[in-house]
Structure formats: structure tokens, C-alpha cells
Amino acid sequence: MLARGEAAGPPLLGRAAEKWLAEGNHWAFTVHVREFDAEAVKEERVEQYDPSKPDAQRWALVTVDGQAPTEERRLAWQKYKARKRRDTPQSLSDYFDFENARIEGVTPLTVRYHLPLRSNRAWLFPVDRVELTVTVNKTTYAIEQVEAGIDEPFRVALGLGRVLDVDFDLMIHPSGQRGAAAGPATAHPEGLAHVVVDRLGERIDYTWSDFRRVTPYSGNGGATKSGI
């Protein structure tokens, strides 16, 4: 995570990033996964993440092909998720180049920044292919919208896969009203994130939705990363 006092480029964007991190892991969401064999859907899953639950229960496999998963399938899936959670978390500044963020638009209430991804080995794809913008409220220092997209497919993971589409548009409304001067406890996120990848010739669609703010479970000493 971005350490307090760490250089973060434009002051408004830096304060917004710190405020975002101060929220901790408060967001629950649903992931709809579709794996394809040629043009046919091979498997369709609904997964949910909820940081208000103890660590081992935060990820849940809800359905597989519209049915409750078998115990064997559920345990295998949980083992995979647990392995991802053991990965070492990185600082936000390892991924996002705050120092070179630039202003793309200004309104009386907000500033919209283009935020470059930092080129390093953390990404296994050409970062200049992804367009990421962040809209920040001037008064509350809250991030109100995050958008990301690509112009055309590109190869990833040393050419073993391709990202076919990225469509991310997340709005965060204080008190349900955009631009309202409210605290983070009333933040209401909504929107969709959609990514399509080709992994060794197999297409996988990911859609994140049903974002909601929850109070993180504190019985295990605090929230952990989501392991998306």
C-alpha cells in the first residue's frame, strides 16, 4: 500500500489516494466468471467476496453452471483462493505512476486525472495499452469515479495469453448523491468491471458487480487484501 507521507504526484490526487487507502478493505462484490471452449461456455461461476467475514470465509463459490458447487469443487476452489492470498501485497506506488499523473478535465466540483500504470515486472503486459482515469472531488478529496479501457487486444504473460477487452467504470457516491459532502462510512459504490482474456487459447470473461460497502471483520486483527 501507499505509505503515509509517500510522494504521490498532484496534491489533490495524493490526498485522494491516502483517503482511499484509509478506508481499508471495506468493499464486498460479486464476480461472474465464464470460461469458454471455442464459442461454447465450458463453465460459468458466481463468486463473492465479503471482507465483513473472517478471512477463510471471505471468498465464497456461490454457483457453478447455475447449481450449488459440489463439496469437492468448493474445496478445490477455496484452496486456489487461499494460495493467491499468500502472495506478497505490493504498494500502490509500485503499480501506479502518481508522479506523472496529468489533469484531463476540471469542473467546479471535480478534477479528472489520467493516471499512468508504472512499467515494471509486476505487470506482464504493455502498460501503455491501458487508459486509466480517476475523478477526484475537490472538497471531500474522495475518488468519485475510476475508469479503465483498452483500444485493442494485446498479448500478456510472455505471449502466452491475450487481453481482449477491458471495460471498467466504477462510481463512488457519498450518501448516494454524487458530489455530496459526506464521510466515507456513507460511500456507495456502483458500476461494472468487465475483462476478457485469452489464456493459452481459452477465453475467460470476468465481470465484477454488486459493489457494496461493509464493515471489515476485526476478529483476525484487521482486513486483508482481496486476492482478486
Question: What pLDDT digit, counting tens, does each position of 86-126 carry?
Answer: 555 556 666 778 888 999 999 999 999 998 877 654 444 55
Q: Tell me what pLDDT residue 226 has.
A: 42
Conformation bin of residue 66: beta by default, left when phi > 0, alpha when psi is -120 to 50: left
Which residues 6+ apart lie within 8 Å of 60 measured at CB? 47, 48, 49, 50
Q: Tell me what pLDDT residue 97 has.
A: 84
Question: What pLDDT digit, counting tens, does each position of 19-44 carry?
Answer: 777 665 788 899 999 999 888 999 99
Mean predicted lDDT score pLDDT of the chain? 76
Distance CA 199, CA 36 (A): 10
pTM value? 0.69
Distance CA 81, CA 56 (A): 10
Q: Tell me what pLDDT residue 228 has.
A: 41
**Which segments of the chain have a pLDDT < 50?**
1-8, 121-124, 175-185, 220-228
